[in-house]
Amino acid sequence: MEEKHGLTTGSVPKRMLLFALPVFLSNLFQQLYNTVDSLIVGNYLGSEALAAVGSSGSLIFLMTGFVTGVSMGAGVLIARYFGAKDNKNLHKVVHTTVALAISAGIALTLIGVTCSPTLLRWMGTPQEVMHNSVAYFRVYYLGCSAVVMYNCGASILQSIGDSRSPMVYLITSAVINVILDLVFIAGFHGGVSSAALATVISQAISALLAFRKLTRLGRKGETYGVKWREVRFDRHMLRAVVAQGVPSGIQNSVISIANVVVQANINSFGANAMAGCGSYSKVEGFAFLPVTCFSMALATFVSQNYGAGKPDRVKKGVRFGLVCPLIMAEMIGITVFTLAPFLIGSFSNDPNVIAYGVMDARTISLFYCVLAYDHCVAGIMRGLGRPMVPMAIMLAIWCVFRITYITVALKFINDIRTIFWAYPITWVISSVIFTMYLINALKKLRNTEV
């Protein structure tokens, strides 16, 4: 398995690209879940229903982002033990991660279903879309354990270098999601809750497929396979997962908290602004997927080779993993800037909705290269076992500073573009700070060479 999937040998660009491509395709089809919901909801149910789905996105990621971040952190540990061939600790961290995912899924279901109306009111969701927003949110969270479990299973497989299997599972479930959306909404004329139900069913299928493979690997005696009788919390490993994963989880939640505040301010401009900006967020989700995949590939690559004691290979991966995504991100940004009217228009034919979405896209898209740099350096830091660095930077800049900027600036310039500019400004500031930490980390890595 190591020769087939491991990242500690062979050509650095080839290994990283072969790992990143299936991750890209996996995330592409995962992004299809919410995007297909929005496309079908917008075209069949109208702008208010589209606004309800779009406004729920930030709140959903706020709730699941923490758990996803913890899974990413656990994945870094799994990759390190895999690279170091430490089978004993590898077995423990896999089963501790699964136990944590099961517990988190149950907790999120209870919180999401119970607190959804209150949370949506805090976001300033307009009354005309409140009913649809609550319906979508509650159905989604009734099945959020499937989302958490799939992310857990995919993280384990990707951490040992197998990015192909999660890709296959998500392609399968994405196709099912499209079919169910059309059946529930276009065929049975269901409301927005039907779109959430289609997503939940599809995610459950992908989770079952991922854990079917992990269970089979466990039966074959693979150290990173899952044996359900051994799923429990190991005290030492739980502390390690928390130390590595909680900063990544907080990092995700910090971004989500800031985005919830941004969404609340966008909501104040009305349902058309909500629908337009929600549509752009779907476009951005697709546009930025290649960079997100490189960030994940960098974290896994760096962690495996760091665990294997290969600092020179780590540095080669860092160089390639920074240059390629930045070029790619800017090319994508130029494309989004140019095609914005067509891209936003695919979600809604309302000219007001399109105008808001295009305005959002053309303010932000040319700065994708800066965001790519930030995400890739964050991945490198996680791979080197320094998850506190991206957490601290994003807490300070992407949350505190961003919220402060929006709150103050809107008092002087009550224009929605003031909100849009919060993203490029905070990306640029954080990139300067990330650069200083990256230089320091690479110097320390150089000192470890013999």
**pLDDT, tens digit, for every residue of 251-276?**
777 776 777 788 788 888 888 888 88
Percent of the chain with pLDDT over 70: 91
At 67, list the tokens. Answer: 């758990």
pLDDT at position 249 over 80 = no
Question: Per residue in 336-380, pLDDT tens?
Answer: 999 999 999 888 888 888 999 999 999 999 999 999 999 999 989
Parse the chain into domains and list their residue ranges: 8-447
pTM of the predicted model, to two decimals? 0.74
- To 5 degrees, how large is the angle CA 285–CA 287–CA 292? 70
Question: Per residue in 208-234, pLDDT tens?
Answer: 999 999 999 988 888 889 999 999 998
Question: Per residue in 83-122, pLDDT tens?
Answer: 888 889 999 999 999 999 999 889 888 888 888 788 778 7
Segment 136-158 shows an average pLDDT of: 87
Question: How far is it, in rounded angstroms, from Cα 50 to Cα 290?
Answer: 26
Question: Per residue in 28-50, pLDDT tens?
Answer: 776 666 666 677 777 777 766 76
